[in-house]
């Protein structure tokens, strides 16, 4: 009887510790950059990208930092750069209204690597001024990058890993095979557009999931 009681107490204490740690992680500031692939080939996916972005933004907390970058054939464009002050519907609407203006470029291929390079540099700069427990770059794309773009993106991986920045990217069944290989090597997290769950990515990045015996969730 005493053994069972002791075991129960230990389980409760362990659960309380995990809960407290999880709440602490949730409250720590998070820096996120969303990149939109505006290549002409993404024309039919553009609305889906916007919908996924809205889902993420609605889940950000006060103190989090958000940037939105559009990749282009020339220089990438910074559309949003702001701290989340309250996370109210009004604030979210103000940000998403800017995202609604993002459209695919006519007969043009965007450079994802250039946008990712800008994202990395800006995250490094803002991290020098502010302390972020978690940082991530999410790229909404159809995955139809050319080989040179994939090669440049892979080169950025070392800088991302060094600065503890995780990178996620969506794609289609026509995704560049070299990009899929990079994902298999653990250099980035890949998901089909139709299966993407960016809100889960953000939660995982915050460290909101813990592995219990028999659980498939990983911290």
Asked whether residue 200 carries a pLDDT value surpassing 90, the answer given is yes
- Look at residue 34 and tell me if it is in a domain: yes
Give the number of domains in the chain: 1
3-class secondary-structure state, position 165: strand
Structure tokens at 46: 């553009």
Residues in a beta bridge with 78: 69
Residue 137 belongs to domain spanning? 25-206
Per the document, the length of the chain is: 219
With respect to residue 32, please indicate whether it lies within any of the assigned structural domains: yes
Give the three-class secondary structure for 27.
helix
**Rounded-to-integer distance, Cα 83 and Cα 31, Å:** 9
Please indicate, yes or no, if residue 44 is contained in any of the structural domains: yes
Which one-letter DSSP state was computed for residue 105? Answer: P
Q: Per the confidence metrics, is the pTM higher than 0.85? A: no
Contacts of 15 (CB under 8 A, 6+ apart): none
Position 211 pLDDT exceeds 60? no
In order, the DSSP letters of 6-34 are: HHHHHHHHHHHHHHHHHHHHHHS-EEEEE
* Interval 119-168: pLDDT, tens: 999 998 888 888 888 899 999 999 999 999 999 998 888 778 778 889 99
What CATH number is given to the structural domain containing 135?
Answer: 3.40.50.410
Inside any domain, residue 199: yes
Q: Is 66 inside any structural domain?
A: yes
CA 188 from chain centre, in angstroms, equals 11
Residue 152 covered by a domain: yes
Could you tell me which residue, 69 or 2, shows the higher pLDDT?
69
The tens digit of pLDDT for each residue in 23-54 reads 434 457 899 999 999 999 999 999 999 999 99
Residue 202 lies in a domain: yes
Give the Cα separation of 52 and 145 in Å (integer).
20
Distance CA 11, CA 32 (A): 35
Joined tokens for residue 40:
């002409």
Angle between helices 147-162 and 177-184 (to 10 degrees): 20
Cα torsion 155, 157, 159, 160: sign: positive
């Amino acid at each position: 009887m005493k053994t069972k009681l002791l075991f129960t107490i230990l389980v409760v204490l362990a659960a309380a510790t995990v809960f407290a740690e999880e709440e602490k992680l949730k409250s720590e500031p998070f820096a996120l950059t969303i990149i939109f692939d505006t290549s002409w080939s993404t024309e039919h996916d553009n609305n889906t990208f916007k919908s996924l972005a809205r889902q993420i933004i609605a889940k950000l907390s006060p103190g989090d930092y958000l940037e939105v970058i559009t990749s282009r054939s020339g220089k990438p464009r910074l559309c949003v750069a702001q701290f989340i002050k309250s996370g109210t519907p009004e604030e979210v609407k103000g940000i998403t209204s800017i995202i609604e203006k993002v459209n695919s470029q006519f007969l043009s291929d965007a450079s994802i690597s250039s946008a990712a390079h800008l994202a990395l540099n800006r995250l490094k700069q803002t991290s020098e001024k502010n302390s972020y427990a978690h940082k991530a770059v999410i790229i909404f794309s159809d995955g139809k990058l050319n080989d040179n773009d994939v090669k440049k993106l892979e080169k950025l991986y070392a800088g991302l890993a060094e600065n503890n920045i995780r990178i996620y990217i969506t794609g289609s069944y026509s995704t560049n095979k070299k990009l899929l290989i990079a994902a298999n090597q653990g250099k980035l997290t890949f998901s089909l557009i139709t299966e993407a769950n960016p809100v889960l990515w953000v939660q995982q990045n915050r460290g909101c999931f813990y592995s219990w015996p028999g659980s498939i969730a990983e911290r």
